[in-house]
Amino acid sequence: MANAVRIGLISDTHNLVRPEALAWLAGVQAIVHAGDICKPEVLDTLSAIAPVTAVRGNNDKGAWAERLPLSTTLVIEGVAIHVVHDIADLRLGEAGSRIDVVVTGHSHQPALALREGVLFVNPGSAGPRRFKLPVSAGVLLIEGGRARAELRTLV
């Protein structure tokens, strides 16, 4: 996928933007943040790299966070990407039409799965380490109307 559109996937930063995360996201065309941002400055920092689409997580509080949707769907190069913080809140029927990719966060556990033709991606947590879980992020590569994802352990 040499000419693929690269979409950075990040979640659960909990007010910590690691240099390793910024390096991983360098050069992406867009960034999806799947919630638990905790401070709007995190979005400002990410916006310096590429346009950011973000959803509100359970730890996002205050007027700035209330402006964020609980879920959203964006279409890039013909691929419909639905974003919601907690997979337990996923309501694909409410998303409207076809969904190709679902991006979630919340669990802090990076995961990739293909279910009934839908790619599910949890980039894990790029913020403070929780228990013994990895600090991670991901990238969605879109080319020819198809998407694949890669996850990366950052530290």
pLDDT at 140: 98
pLDDT at 91: 83
The DSSP secondary structure of 82-126, one letter per residue, reads EEESSGGG--GGGG-S--SEEE--SS---EEEEETTEEEEE--B-
For 46-85, write each residue's pLDDT tens digit: 999 999 999 999 999 999 999 999 999 999 999 999 999 9
Tokens of 153: 């352990």
pLDDT at 96: 59
Distance CA 79, CA 101 (A): 8
Specify the CATH number for the domain of residue 101: 3.60.21.10
For residue 43, pLDDT over 90 is answered with yes
For 90-141, write each residue's pLDDT tens digit: 987 655 578 999 999 999 999 999 998 999 999 999 999 988 899 999 999 9
Expressed as residue numbers, the domain containing 114 is 5-153
For 6-29, write each residue's pLDDT tens digit: 999 999 999 999 999 999 999 999
Tokens of 49: 């790299």
pLDDT at 63: 97
Better-scored residue on pLDDT, 42 or 98: 42
* Helix or strand run (H / E) with residue 74: strand 71-76
Distance CA 2, CA 129 (A): 33
User: Distance between alpha carbon 8 and the CA centroid of its chain, in Å?
Assistant: 7
The total number of structural domains in the chain stands at 1
**pLDDT band with cut points at 50, 70 and 90 for residue 2:** low
| pTM for the predicted model, two decimal places | 0.95
